[in-house]
Structure formats: C-alpha cells, structure tokens
Amino acid sequence: SNPNVILLMADDLGIGDLGCYGNRTLRTPNIDRLAEQGVTFTQHIAASPLCTPSRAAFLTGRYPIRSGMAAFSRVGVFLFSASSGGLPSEELTFSKLLKQRGYATALIGKWHLGMNCESSNDFCHHPLSHGFDYFYGLTVTNFRDCKPGQGSVFLKGVQKSVVVPIQIAGIMLVSLAVVQYIGLLKVPFQALGYCLLMTAILVVVFIFFFYHFRHLNCFLMRDHQIIQQPLSYENLTQRLTKEAVQFIGRNTDAPFLLVLSYLHVHTALYASKNFRGKSKHGLYGDAVEEMDWSVVIKTALFFFFFFGGWQVLEVLEKYNLSDNTFVYFTSDQGAHVEEISSSGEVHGGYNGIYKGGKSMNWEGGIRVPGLVRWPGVIQAGAYIDEPTSNMDIFPTIVELAKAQLPSDRMIDGHDLMPLLQGKVTQSKHEFLFHYCNAYLNAVRWHPGNSESVWKVFFFTPNFSPEDSNGCYDSHVCFCHGAFITRHDPPLLFDLSRDPEEKVPLTPETESRFYEILRVIQLAVDNHTRSLHAVPDQLSWGNLLWKPWLQLCCSSLFQSCYCDYDSE
C-alpha cells in the first residue's frame, strides 16, 4: 500500500554535528537511532549551498536553474515576505503529485520559496498553492533580525549598498542648493524641490522598513492567516512538534506526507528553557540537541519512546504506522561557518573534515546528512557511499506513491529505492552539477568502472581572511567578480582519495588529467543544452520589498501586531 512519508529537513546543520557522522560532543541519540535503524548516505549532496535554491530542487527534483530559482545577482535567497518572486506555479512538486494520489499533505516550519505575486492575497507561491493541504510556519526564514539582541544580517550590506549612496545623493543635493543660492548655477527650483522630496521619501521608507523589519518579515502563519506577528521564539520547537503530532493524528486512516522543515539551526539561534545551557557547544549545541529531541516526537511512530506526549504512542499502538512509514532526514546545505555572534560566540556548525560551508560548493557546503528509515523494507545499519542528491527524494516518493513522473520536463533526481534495497550498488548520478547561484561552479563525475569521484572547479571563492575557511568579511561567499578566482585549466580533485579537497591534481600527478577534463566538459555541454530560458525569480525586481504585497494581521499603525497562536 502507499506508505506514509515523513521528510525532516534541518537548516544549516553541518554533517559533522551529528553523532552518526562522527561527532562525539553533541548529543543526538535520536537522529543517530535513525541511522542505526536505517541507511546512512555518506555522499549525500544538496543541489545548492543556499536555502532557497536547495529547497526548490528538493521539492521539484530539478536543478534550481531550471525553475528560475537560481540568482544571477549577488543575493541568492528571498529576504522579504513582500517580494514577488517564488517557486513558479508551473513547477510540479512532490506534494502536488502525492496529493493527487489521495495523500494528506502538510508543511510545518520553514518555506522560503515566496508567497505573493501581484497582490497581498493571491498566495501564488504559498505552500498551499504547491500541493500542501496544511501549512504552519514561516514563509521566509529565521533571520538574526527576527530576534531582538541577535544583531543583523543586513547591517554591513545596507551600509555599503544603501547608506553610502544616500549620503552621496544628499551631499550632491545640498551642493546644488548652495550653488543655486550663490548664483553660480541656475537650477530650476521646482526640480530641486522634487529631488529633495524624493530623497526624503526614500530615506523615510528605508528607515521605516528596517526599523519594523521584525514585524514585517518575521511572522507565523497557519494556512493563509497570520497567527503571530512578530514571531515569538518561546517554545517554538515544541509548537512545531505539536502541530506535526496533531497532523499525524488526524490522518491515520489514509496515507500522509509530512514535511517538517526545522528553523534549527539557522540564526537567530534559540532553545527552550529545558535545553538552554545544557550542551557543550553553547547556544548552537543547545539548538541541535533540542532538534534531536523533536525528532523523537516525530519518529515516535517507530521509536517506542516517551517524551512529553502520549498521543504519539497512542497513534503507534492503535494504528501500527511504523512499518508503513518512509522517513528521511537531511539538511538543506552545510553549516554556516562564518556565523559568529557579536560577543564572539560561534553560532555556526561543524562540517567535519570537509572544506568550506554554506554558500560554497566545497564539500562542506553541499555534503549533508542523508538518513532513510523504513522498517522491513530497508536494511538497518547500512551505509551507502555513492553520490546521491536531495533531488532524489522527488522521484523516490512519487514512485512509492504510484504517481506518474512528469514526462514534459527534465527530472534530475533518481529513485533511491534500488540503492536502498541493495538491488543495485552504483548510483545513477554519473555526473552532478554544482551551481553557485546561476553560475556553474563545479562538476562531480563518478565513472561506472572506477571508485574515483572526480570533481572540477571552474572558479572558487576568495576566502577572507585568506588563510581562513570562509568569507568572514562578507558573512557569505559570493559567486562572481572580485569575490572569486577563475581557474583555467579547472582545479581537479579525486574525492575518493582527497575528500578534504586539499591538493589539486595536475598533469604531473594525474596522468589522465586532460582526459578527465575532456569527459567532464562534454557532460557540461550536454547539460547546458538541456537548459531553457525561464523567468528569473531572484532578479532584483522580484527580490525587492513591495509595500502592496505586505501582509499585516492588524494595521501598520498598530505595528502589525497579533498573537493568536499563544491565545
């Protein structure tokens, strides 16, 4: 029969943060138990090292460049709730296809794939427009700016990109006024007045927006309704957990799809009273361990474990859901290594032996946890060291639900079940293409007759400071211009021998150097021919805040405040 599907996605979790991937200081016994009772992927790759494109690829099984969810500009994710870009309605998500097969579908937690297009209530990009029956969560993401006292992710960028131009414009206008006053130059007074008025309006709008950023962008929704604005972090993980448990309880008589998209461990970091100060790694460790506790609740369907709610055990005992539930755990990308609080505390995770992190296609940015459990169907305690992708979940669960894979578009993911059940030993991913926003950054090649996993880089980010492991001066690494170094010939690594990407190969150290590059270039040419022009969902026009798209549960004069969730 059609199995239930539970997909658990962490945010910015490093592969080295979990005990099942080698961590010995953070306590993650419940996620580790998933690994013990299921399959662990050791080369599980996110389709992008950034939230928005990675999640688009996860839902559609397609590289984000195909759906317009990869940016040509510097900013690669949605920043505002009132932006007009988002996952296009033409895209088919696994939730749409499973819903057509009679599944009850829910997304709980983070969305980050847009909300409105032309009006504040068209909800064209909203989860309910992409096949989910029920939504409880955030439409954007969890920013430092959402939690008072946690600093701002915008401050540096705003100072460089906005404040300086406004200062220059102000100086020019004042200079023109002075020149006009002393008679050196005749400037129409009306034109000067209009310029001053426009500048003043822009400054007022700018100040208003960032002063009210938390209220305008950090809110909790249930379906199409705002229920808490601004978002409260008080017992937030417990509330997400309760929503997931209740959804399962409402749908025990029919197959269901539950996507639990955690806010942990993206900054702003938070942890409830029961977990705060309990880990060995500060607030970040507290957040990881609270998320691990939450997994107990979600996976109590098959772990007979009590922690704060008998309703899940009642579901387990009464409906015996364990053996008919496919469970998957991952992170949308690697840990954000540059995350450091204003007090100097490390707020980013650990990517193990792997180089780099979030926003980079070094292994630390894209090699993520990948755990699958399905008792009686998938062998417990197995390891798969083949290249797999978060795009593979789309065809896997669509096939399990006996839905029809679309034939009118390219699907880049592959069904994981033959690998998971041991029917095949090699991944269908001979090549994987790694994009930095909309720019092809690197390619991975796993030949069928070899254990080698070749990886080439056409360009790499310039770390700052140079001897560091990230772009600390800019908070994330960027994909073009002075932020990168291009390589001709490309850098070449063999990940089977050098997973840390320490020593690039050369024609002197690898006799097949040019042959490998030739094969990869042919693959790039074939891949490029499969791409078609689509609207850029992350253009500046789609990214910028549009006041007419702004949702507000009360009124701007009441600072968009409400708290129906606590009530």
Largest CA distance in the chain: 89
- 168-173 long-range CB contacts below 8 Å, 24 or more apart? 169/199, 170/199, 173/199
Q: At what angle do helices 29-36 and 282-299 cross, to 10 degrees?
A: 50
Q: Is the dihedral of CA 350, 352, 353, 356 positive or negative?
A: negative
Per-residue pLDDT, 319: 65
Per-residue pLDDT, 187: 63
- Please name the amino acid found at residue 140: V
Residue 306 has pLDDT above 60, yes or no: no
Q: Which of these is catalytic: 51, 117, 471, 560?
A: 51
Confidence class for position 241, pLDDT limits 50, 70, 90: confident
Instruction: List phi, psi (to 5°) of 456.
Output: -115, 145
**Per-domain residue ranges for the chain?**
4-142+218-549, 154-214
Query: CATH code for 4-142+218-549?
Result: 3.40.720.10
**Residue 126 annotated as catalytic:** no
Cα separation, 279 vs 172, in Å, equals 54
Beta bridge partners of 331: 10
Q: At what angle do helices 282-299 and 236-250 cross, to 10 degrees?
A: 10
Which H/E stretch holds residue 236?
A: helix 236-250
Residue 263 has pLDDT above 70, yes or no: yes
What is the rounded (10 degree) CA torsion for 415, 263, 36, 285? 150
Per-residue pLDDT, 297: 44
Cα separation, 27 vs 9, in Å, equals 18
Task: Tell me the per-residue pLDDT of 182-207, one tens digit each, with 9 for 90 and over.
Answer: 777 666 766 667 777 777 777 776 67
Average pLDDT over residues 19-46: 95
**Residue 112 annotated as catalytic:** yes
Task: Tell me the per-residue pLDDT of 333-380, one tens digit each, with 9 for 90 and over.
Answer: 999 999 998 888 999 999 999 999 999 999 999 999 999 999 999 999
Confidence class for position 250, pLDDT limits 50, 70, 90: very high
> Whole-model pTM?
0.92
In terms of Cα–Cα distance, which of 451, 439, 333, 341 is closest to 385?
451
Per-residue pLDDT, 317: 41
Q: Which of these is catalytic: 20, 44, 112, 434?
A: 112
- Could you give the 3-state DSSP secondary structure of residue 529? helix
Average pLDDT over residues 465-483: 94
Cα separation, 211 vs 163, in Å, equals 15
Residue 312 has pLDDT above 50, yes or no: no
Task: Tell me the per-residue pLDDT of 287-304, one tens digit each, with 9 for 90 and over.
Answer: 999 999 988 645 544 443
Specify the CATH number for 154-214; select among 1.10.287.550, 3.50.50.60, 3.40.50.300, 3.40.30.10: 1.10.287.550
Q: Tell how strand 431-436 and strand 220-222 pair up.
A: unpaired
Per-residue pLDDT, 156: 61
Which DSSP string corresponds to 464-504? BSTTSSSBTTTSS--SSGGGEEEEEEEEEEETTT-TT--S-
Cα separation, 157 vs 143, in Å, equals 14
| Residue 309 token pair | 């709610």
